[in-house]
Amino acid sequence: MLKFFVAAFIIFIYLPAFLVILLSFEQSSSIALPITGFTLDWYVKKPVGYESPAFVSLLYDYGFWDALVNSVRTSLVVAAFTAIIVTSSALALRHRVKGRDLLFYALLLGFIIPGVTLGLGSTFFYSILGMEYSFWSVVLINTVYTVPFGLILMMARFDPDLMEYEKAASALKANPMNVLRKITFPLIKWEIISATIFGFLLSWGELIRTQFMLKGLGTLSVFIYTQLSVYPLTPKWYAAGTLVSVIAFSALAILAFLLARGAR
């Protein structure tokens, strides 16, 4: 009974994604069921003369590809930062350091503060610095957003015996660097990899905060959002969604595989 409920919920959350993929092959230019015919036009058709961006196929929409490159760059850098910050913070927070709770909450702030508030505050901050719409402001606002997820995920999954192993190694006079290299990292490497992928995926889909930080093309999310607020919705955007989701799904499949591998 309960398992059916879980299955039903999974269907509910996947339904739109399946329809996006299905309707991206729709022949007519409206989002409507039933499907009238299959076509690949929204993906690869060469445009004839000028066409509104809503009708240019994905392959020939250069704005889309530029935004995709921006997204990949941003997400990769955010993922790297997330991995470093999450790993080092999680390792530190295992110890009963003074002010641990306060420090932990300080790290969660980027997620707790509503996106629109943080976005606006950051707009002011970077305009005072004269650094509006820079790549690094996007990276930073995404990193503070992804770190809390990674941190909670990683700390909750830490092997309870990890500290015992480290203590044993220290008692046997291993120096701290060696403990880190030979004991700690091998035992948490899957958690580090998961946190990295999680950081990539979260910043890949982030819109609310990023939207404040970018003008022009922005990342894919911002690009699609701005385009949709100007141009009509056609299956072209569903084609874009299919492509973008395939990338996210692949990353998630890797993540699932890794998590299952490390599952105890």
Partner 1 sequence: MKPAETISKYSSYILLAPGLIASFIGVIVPLAILAPISFYKYRFPEIIPEFTLENYLGYLFSAKTGTILLNTFGLSFMTCLLCFAVAYPIAYTLSFKIRSPRFKTYVVSLLMVPFLIDWSIRTVAWISVLGERGLINYFLTSTGISATPQKFLFSPIALIVIWLQTYTLFMMFPIYLAMQRINLDYIRAAQVLRAPPHRIQYEIVFKLSMPGILTGFIFVFVSTLGDFVTPSLWAGGIQTLGLSIAVFAGNYLWTQAAAMSTIMLAITLLALYILVKVGKIKKLVYER
Residues 9-68 that bind partner 1 (CB under 8 A): 9-10, 12-17, 19-20, 22-23, 30-34
Please select the residue that binds partner 1; options are 77, 85, 188, 195, rule is CB under 8 A.
85
**Of 143, 147, 167, residue with least CA distance to 155:** 147
Q: Which is nearer to partner 1, 42 or 212 (CB)?
A: 212
Q: How many residues bind partner 1, per CB under 8 A?
A: 101
134 lines the binding site for partner 1 (CB under 8 A): no
Q: Which is nearer to partner 1, 48 or 177 (CB)?
A: 177
Please select the residue that binds partner 1; options are 202, 214, 217, 236, rule is CB under 8 A.
202
235-262 helix and 2-23 helix, angle to the nearest 10 degrees: 140
- Which two three-digit tokens encode residue 96? 């009963």
69 lines the binding site for partner 1 (CB under 8 A): no
Please select the residue that binds partner 1; options are 107, 169, 195, 214, rule is CB under 8 A.
107
195 lines the binding site for partner 1 (CB under 8 A): no
185-205 helix and 62-93 helix, angle to the nearest 10 degrees: 140
214 lines the binding site for partner 1 (CB under 8 A): no
74 lines the binding site for partner 1 (CB under 8 A): no
76 lines the binding site for partner 1 (CB under 8 A): no
Q: Cα separation of 10 and 218, whole Å? A: 31
Q: Cα separation of 222 and 212, whole Å? A: 9
Helices (H), the chain: 2-23, 41-44, 62-93, 100-112, 115-129, 135-157, 162-171, 176-178, 185-205, 208-213, 220-230, 235-262
Q: Which is nearer to partner 1, 56 or 222 (CB)?
A: 222
Provide the 10 A C-beta neighbour count for residue 119: 17
User: Nearest approach, Cβ of 165 to partner 1 (angstroms)?
Assistant: 14
